[in-house]
Amino acid sequence: MIINATIINGEGSASGYKKNWLGHGTIYHQINQIQKIDLSFSNQLRACKMGTINICTDNAISILCWERTFIKLAWLPNSPDWGETIYFSSVLIRLNNSTNDIRGWLYGSEKSPHNKNPHILEIVAPEIIGLKSGDNFQVQIDCSYIQKYSN
């Protein structure tokens, strides 16, 4: 399934730009914990930018299931009893005027402030030079993972 999307500004927690824990964002700490569970997948995530691309979709999206789930991941430094479930599903990003797709991961977290808005999704992907808020692109995802609603 192809989803049309526009990049929007995030809150800066995933990257650590605005809010951070010991100098790093949530993605960095989550990958460190995922490494203890699934080294191969954590290495794929380490090839990505330590943050998320926040997108607003043309249609409301409902996530039906995820490709990878990490239950109650204790990623918050100095809080070993605190855990958050983290989710990932493989996606392809297709930039406008490009024939090359970029592999990334649709990202979800149980405590994300974006969970209440069915038009906002987050993607973990390799750094894409020049990508900025307001840019449009397409995201391809296996249709078994999501449901798209008409406007």
In whole angstroms, what is the distance from residue 17 CA to residue 66 CA?
27
**Where do the H-state alpha helices sit in the chain?**
26-35, 39-46
What residue ranges define each of the domains in the chain, with the CATH number in brackets?
2-148 (2.40.30.30)
Provide the residue-wise pLDDT of the chain in tens; the chain has 151 residues: 999 999 999 888 888 777 766 678 889 999 999 999 999 999 999 999 999 999 999 999 999 999 999 999 998 877 878 899 999 999 999 988 777 899 999 999 998 888 889 999 999 999 998 889 999 999 999 988 888 786 6
Does the pTM exceed 0.85? yes
9-41 pLDDT, tens digit each: 988 888 877 776 667 888 999 999 999 999 999
Q: Which among 12, 21, 26 is positioned nearest to 34, based on CA atoms?
A: 26
